[in-house]
Amino acid sequence: RDPWQLHEVAAHHLEQQGALESDRLLTDDQGTAWGRGLDGAGRPSGTFDPSVVTLLGHAPDGTLVPVGTEPAPWAADPYRPAPFVYVADGDADGLRVPGPVPAREFGELVLRDPQLLDMDGYAEVVAVVPHARPSGTRPAEGSIPGEGARNSARNWWSTDSATTLHHDPATGTYTVALLPGPDGRPAAPGTWGRTTPAEGDPAGTGTVTNGTAPGTAVAEPNTAAPALSSTGTRAHGTDGTIPGAEPSGEAGGAADLAAAWDAHASALTGLREAAAEAATTERISGDATA
């Protein structure tokens, strides 16, 4: 790594603090990894269903429940393997783990993620990061999906809506999910977009890109409400929960990440001070020989 590139040094420090360790992986019951959690939430193992996106809404008691689904756009190509999933808090400009991690620093982590490097070269990536997709006419370059695509040579899917993982306690299955909007209404379907490596790196300075499939249309969602049982309550398995509900596991993961961030921030401060001192010394030396 280039010691004068702060994003490379910062990403290396996060890596040393465990950001890319196996305990951050999301796995099924057989231990096969299908994603990586960088949000500090503790999640039990479970199968990932890449075929649908779950639309969440509020039940009368305020809890989040599934209110419909839409076909996952990354599943439209039957020849692609299941995507790899990154789960984190943040937005298009960077992550919070819990301190700020700029998009470029995150891209450096992606570049060195051993699990992603081991994935099929045709596999895409889904960023379960709220509002990760740049809005409006803003280009993908320099954003979370842009840096991810540039550094992994893979297509990245993201949305400008709030997103999370949904865990069905009845089946143990995880799906990508969209959270309700600020008005409490379920999120509009069809908000996912794909960022190619070329879009993330229009100048062509990143890794060599792999082939990309033609764009895919998003099918109309199934907005039917979950079935009700004979007692008038929601059928078993449809009272969705947001992952990481176990306080002890989530708190422990968040504490670990908080400690890692403190060390990371301290290292950055020291590096900046050293760089400033070196620049001052070089300038003084130049003045003396002038």
Residue 251: the pLDDT is 45
Signed CA dihedral, 269, 270, 271, 273: sign only:
positive
d(CA 206, CA 199): 11
At residue 121, the pLDDT reads 93
Please choose, from the candidates 21, 41, 54, the residue with its C-alpha nearest in 3D space to the C-alpha of residue 174. 54
227-254 as b/e: b if 16+ CB within 10 A: eeeeeeebeeebbbeebbeeeeebeebb
Question: What predicted TM-score, i.e. pTM, was given to this entire model?
Answer: 0.69
240, 64 contact by CB (below 8 A): yes
Q: Any idea where the domains of the chain sit in the sequence?
A: 6-226+234-289
**Tokens standing for residue 183:** 């008005």
Q: How far apart are CA 68 and CA 58, in angstroms?
A: 12
pLDDT values of the chain reduced to their tens digit, one per residue, 290 residues? 555 555 556 555 566 666 788 899 999 999 999 999 999 888 999 999 999 999 999 999 989 999 999 999 999 999 999 999 999 998 888 878 767 888 998 988 999 899 999 999 999 999 999 999 998 888 899 899 999 999 999 999 999 999 999 999 999 999 999 999 988 888 889 999 999 999 998 877 654 433 333 333 333 344 343 333 333 333 333 333 333 334 334 445 445 555 555 555 565 555 556 555 555 455 445 444 44
- d(Cα 13, Cα 19) in Å, to the nearest integer? 9
- For residue 268, what pLDDT is reported? 54
Alpha helices (H) in 81-133, listed in sequence order: 103-111, 114-117
